[in-house]
Amino acid sequence: MLRIAVCVSGGGTNLEAIFKNIENGTIENAGIVRVISNNKNAYALTRADDHNTEGICISPKDFETRDEFNEALLRGLKEADPDLVVLAGFLVNVPECVIREFKNRIINIHPSLIPSFCGKGYYGLKVHEAVLARGVKVTGATVHFVDEGIDTGKILAQKAVSVMDGDTPEVLQRRVMEQAEWIILPDIISKIASGEIKIG
Protein backbone atom coordinates (compact mmCIF):
# COMPACT_ATOMS: atom_id res chain seq x y z
CA MET A 1 0.00 0.00 0.00
CA LEU A 2 1.17 3.51 -0.86
CA ARG A 3 1.37 5.37 2.46
CA ILE A 4 0.42 9.03 2.02
CA ALA A 5 0.96 11.99 4.31
CA VAL A 6 -1.00 15.11 3.40
CA CYS A 7 0.04 18.62 4.46
CA VAL A 8 -2.71 21.24 4.36
CA SER A 9 -3.40 24.68 5.82
CA GLY A 10 -7.11 25.32 5.35
CA GLY A 11 -10.39 23.67 4.49
CA GLY A 12 -8.94 20.56 2.91
CA THR A 13 -11.09 20.25 -0.20
CA ASN A 14 -8.26 18.52 -2.09
CA LEU A 15 -7.73 16.28 0.94
CA GLU A 16 -11.41 15.35 0.78
CA ALA A 17 -11.07 14.58 -2.94
CA ILE A 18 -8.21 12.17 -2.14
CA PHE A 19 -10.18 10.48 0.66
CA LYS A 20 -13.22 10.04 -1.62
CA ASN A 21 -11.19 8.58 -4.47
CA ILE A 22 -9.50 6.11 -2.11
CA GLU A 23 -12.82 5.12 -0.52
CA ASN A 24 -14.64 4.65 -3.84
CA GLY A 25 -11.78 2.58 -5.27
CA THR A 26 -10.65 5.05 -7.94
CA ILE A 27 -7.30 5.19 -6.15
CA GLU A 28 -6.27 1.61 -5.41
CA ASN A 29 -3.60 0.32 -3.05
CA ALA A 30 -3.15 3.60 -1.20
CA GLY A 31 -4.12 5.17 2.11
CA ILE A 32 -3.65 8.43 3.99
CA VAL A 33 -1.71 7.69 7.17
CA ARG A 34 -1.39 11.22 8.59
CA VAL A 35 -2.69 14.73 7.94
CA ILE A 36 -0.47 17.59 9.08
CA SER A 37 -1.64 21.20 9.29
CA ASN A 38 0.20 24.35 10.32
CA ASN A 39 -3.16 25.73 11.48
CA LYS A 40 -4.83 24.19 14.53
CA ASN A 41 -8.22 25.52 13.37
CA ALA A 42 -7.95 24.08 9.85
CA TYR A 43 -11.13 22.26 8.83
CA ALA A 44 -8.81 19.74 7.16
CA LEU A 45 -8.10 18.30 10.64
CA THR A 46 -11.84 17.74 11.13
CA ARG A 47 -11.96 16.00 7.75
CA ALA A 48 -9.10 13.73 8.84
CA ASP A 49 -11.02 12.84 12.00
CA ASP A 50 -14.18 12.18 9.97
CA HIS A 51 -12.21 9.64 7.93
CA ASN A 52 -10.62 8.00 11.02
CA THR A 53 -7.19 9.32 10.05
CA GLU A 54 -4.66 10.88 12.39
CA GLY A 55 -4.50 14.66 12.09
CA ILE A 56 -1.92 16.78 13.88
CA CYS A 57 -0.99 20.46 14.00
CA ILE A 58 2.63 21.55 13.66
CA SER A 59 2.65 25.34 13.63
CA PRO A 60 5.59 27.75 13.28
CA LYS A 61 3.86 29.81 16.00
CA ASP A 62 4.60 27.06 18.54
CA PHE A 63 8.39 27.24 18.08
CA GLU A 64 10.92 29.91 18.97
CA THR A 65 12.85 29.56 15.71
CA ARG A 66 12.06 28.52 12.17
CA ASP A 67 14.74 25.83 12.41
CA GLU A 68 12.91 24.25 15.36
CA PHE A 69 9.67 24.24 13.36
CA ASN A 70 11.44 22.75 10.35
CA GLU A 71 12.84 19.93 12.50
CA ALA A 72 9.41 19.30 14.03
CA LEU A 73 7.78 19.13 10.60
CA LEU A 74 10.43 16.68 9.42
CA ARG A 75 9.91 14.60 12.56
CA GLY A 76 6.13 14.67 12.10
CA LEU A 77 6.46 13.37 8.58
CA LYS A 78 9.08 10.72 9.34
CA GLU A 79 6.96 9.35 12.21
CA ALA A 80 4.20 8.61 9.70
CA ASP A 81 6.68 6.77 7.44
CA PRO A 82 5.01 7.90 4.19
CA ASP A 83 5.95 6.77 0.69
CA LEU A 84 4.45 9.99 -0.69
CA VAL A 85 3.96 13.47 0.77
CA VAL A 86 1.14 15.51 -0.79
CA LEU A 87 0.98 19.28 -0.36
CA ALA A 88 -2.72 20.06 -0.73
CA GLY A 89 -2.97 23.78 -0.07
CA PHE A 90 -0.05 23.91 2.37
CA LEU A 91 0.84 27.59 2.79
CA VAL A 92 4.27 26.96 4.30
CA ASN A 93 7.56 26.95 2.44
CA VAL A 94 8.72 23.36 2.76
CA PRO A 95 12.19 23.37 4.33
CA GLU A 96 15.19 21.87 2.56
CA CYS A 97 15.60 19.20 5.27
CA VAL A 98 12.16 17.82 4.32
CA ILE A 99 12.81 18.06 0.57
CA ARG A 100 16.13 16.19 1.01
CA GLU A 101 14.57 13.48 3.18
CA PHE A 102 11.70 12.89 0.74
CA LYS A 103 13.47 13.64 -2.53
CA ASN A 104 11.16 13.01 -5.53
CA ARG A 105 8.44 11.86 -3.13
CA ILE A 106 6.67 15.19 -2.55
CA ILE A 107 3.98 16.49 -4.91
CA ASN A 108 2.05 19.76 -4.84
CA ILE A 109 -1.17 21.00 -6.39
CA HIS A 110 -0.98 24.60 -7.63
CA PRO A 111 -4.05 26.52 -8.83
CA SER A 112 -2.68 27.82 -12.13
CA LEU A 113 -1.01 26.56 -15.29
CA ILE A 114 2.65 26.75 -14.29
CA PRO A 115 4.79 28.70 -15.30
CA SER A 116 2.00 31.32 -15.21
CA PHE A 117 0.93 32.82 -11.88
CA CYS A 118 3.31 30.82 -9.70
CA GLY A 119 6.32 31.37 -7.47
CA LYS A 120 6.70 33.70 -4.49
CA GLY A 121 3.47 35.36 -3.41
CA TYR A 122 1.18 33.27 -5.62
CA TYR A 123 -1.00 31.10 -3.40
CA GLY A 124 -4.67 30.58 -2.63
CA LEU A 125 -7.01 33.33 -3.73
CA LYS A 126 -4.07 35.56 -4.72
CA VAL A 127 -3.52 33.36 -7.79
CA HIS A 128 -7.08 33.84 -9.01
CA GLU A 129 -7.01 37.57 -8.28
CA ALA A 130 -3.88 37.85 -10.46
CA VAL A 131 -5.45 35.79 -13.25
CA LEU A 132 -8.46 38.10 -13.38
CA ALA A 133 -6.33 41.25 -13.14
CA ARG A 134 -4.24 40.08 -16.12
CA GLY A 135 -7.30 39.30 -18.19
CA VAL A 136 -6.29 35.84 -19.35
CA LYS A 137 -9.03 33.62 -20.79
CA VAL A 138 -7.68 30.25 -19.66
CA THR A 139 -6.28 29.19 -16.29
CA GLY A 140 -6.21 25.79 -14.57
CA ALA A 141 -4.19 23.70 -12.15
CA THR A 142 -0.86 21.88 -12.07
CA VAL A 143 0.46 18.89 -10.12
CA HIS A 144 4.23 18.92 -9.84
CA PHE A 145 7.09 17.42 -7.90
CA VAL A 146 8.46 19.67 -5.16
CA ASP A 147 12.09 20.72 -5.28
CA GLU A 148 14.07 23.46 -3.52
CA GLY A 149 12.46 26.23 -5.58
CA ILE A 150 8.90 27.57 -5.36
CA ASP A 151 6.68 25.84 -7.93
CA THR A 152 9.74 24.86 -9.99
CA GLY A 153 9.64 21.05 -9.80
CA LYS A 154 8.87 18.72 -12.70
CA ILE A 155 5.28 19.01 -13.92
CA LEU A 156 3.24 15.78 -13.69
CA ALA A 157 -0.16 16.98 -14.91
CA GLN A 158 -2.06 20.10 -15.94
CA LYS A 159 -5.69 20.77 -16.73
CA ALA A 160 -7.05 23.93 -18.29
CA VAL A 161 -10.15 25.79 -17.06
CA SER A 162 -11.94 28.65 -18.82
CA VAL A 163 -12.14 32.09 -17.23
CA MET A 164 -15.66 33.49 -17.64
CA ASP A 165 -16.85 37.09 -17.94
CA GLY A 166 -17.99 38.31 -14.55
CA ASP A 167 -15.87 35.83 -12.56
CA THR A 168 -14.88 36.85 -9.06
CA PRO A 169 -11.73 35.33 -7.53
CA GLU A 170 -13.94 33.12 -5.34
CA VAL A 171 -16.06 31.87 -8.25
CA LEU A 172 -12.96 31.16 -10.35
CA GLN A 173 -11.25 29.41 -7.44
CA ARG A 174 -14.24 27.08 -7.08
CA ARG A 175 -14.32 26.29 -10.81
CA VAL A 176 -10.58 25.51 -10.87
CA MET A 177 -11.03 23.19 -7.88
CA GLU A 178 -14.02 21.36 -9.35
CA GLN A 179 -12.84 21.14 -12.96
CA ALA A 180 -9.10 20.64 -12.42
CA GLU A 181 -7.65 20.22 -8.93
CA TRP A 182 -10.04 17.54 -7.67
CA ILE A 183 -9.49 15.58 -10.89
CA ILE A 184 -5.75 15.70 -11.58
CA LEU A 185 -4.47 15.36 -8.01
CA PRO A 186 -6.28 12.05 -7.31
CA ASP A 187 -5.35 10.86 -10.82
CA ILE A 188 -1.63 11.43 -10.26
CA ILE A 189 -1.81 9.75 -6.84
CA SER A 190 -3.52 6.78 -8.49
CA LYS A 191 -0.76 6.55 -11.10
CA ILE A 192 1.90 6.69 -8.38
CA ALA A 193 0.10 3.98 -6.38
CA SER A 194 -0.13 1.74 -9.44
CA GLY A 195 3.53 2.29 -10.35
CA GLU A 196 2.74 4.05 -13.61
CA ILE A 197 4.59 7.10 -12.26
CA LYS A 198 7.83 6.31 -10.42
CA ILE A 199 8.81 8.25 -7.30
CA GLY A 200 11.89 8.31 -5.08
Question: Could you tell me if residue 67 is inside a domain?
Answer: yes
Q: Considering the entire predicted model, what is its pTM?
A: 0.96
Q: How many helices (H) and strands (E) would you count in the chain?
A: 7, 7
Question: Could you tell me if residue 153 is inside a domain?
Answer: yes
Whose CA is closest to 9, among 74, 63, 55? 55
Catalytic residue list contains 128:
no
3-state SS assignment for residue 133: helix
Cis peptide leading into 115, omega within 30 of 0?
yes
**Beta strands 84-87 and 55-57: pairing type?**
unpaired
Q: Residue 90 in contact with residue 110, Cβ under 8 Å? A: no
Q: How many domains does the chain have?
A: 1
**The dihedral formed by the CA atoms of 26, 79, 71 and 85, expressed in degrees to the nearest 10:** -10
Q: 21-41: per-residue pLDDT in tens?
A: 999 999 999 999 999 999 999
Q: Which of 51, 110, 128, 144 is catalytic?
A: 110
Question: Could you tell me if residue 200 is inside a domain?
Answer: no
Q: What is the CATH number of the domain that holds 87?
A: 3.40.50.170
Q: 122-176: per-residue pLDDT in tens?
A: 999 999 999 999 999 999 999 999 999 999 999 999 999 999 999 999 999 999 9
